[in-house]
Amino acid sequence: MEYTLVKTVTYAGLIKEVNDLIKRGWIPQGGIMEDQHGRCLQAMIKT
């Protein structure tokens, strides 16, 4: 199984959507890096 690191511009209001992707297995737990403002800077996406 491979993962691709993608940069995102997901802001706090969209974190729920990111969590939904985690639940579906598209983003592994711990695969998201956020800055201090809660923005999603990058995420590991299953490819």
- Model confidence pLDDT, tens digit, residues 12-46: 556 667 677 777 766 665 666 665 665 655 666 56
pLDDT at 23: 75
Q: Look at the chain and report how many structural domains it folds into.
A: 1
In terms of DSSP H, where are the helices of the chain?
15-24
CA 10/CA 34 separation, integer angstroms: 9
Contact partners, residue 36, CB within 8 Å, separation at least 6: none
Per-state percent for the chain, helix, strand, coil, to nearest 5:
30, 40, 35
pLDDT at 24: 75
**CA-CA-CA-CA torsion for 26, 22, 45, 42, nearest 10 degrees?**
160
pLDDT at 7: 57
**Segments forming the whole domain that contains residue 34:** 3-46
The reported pTM is 0.32
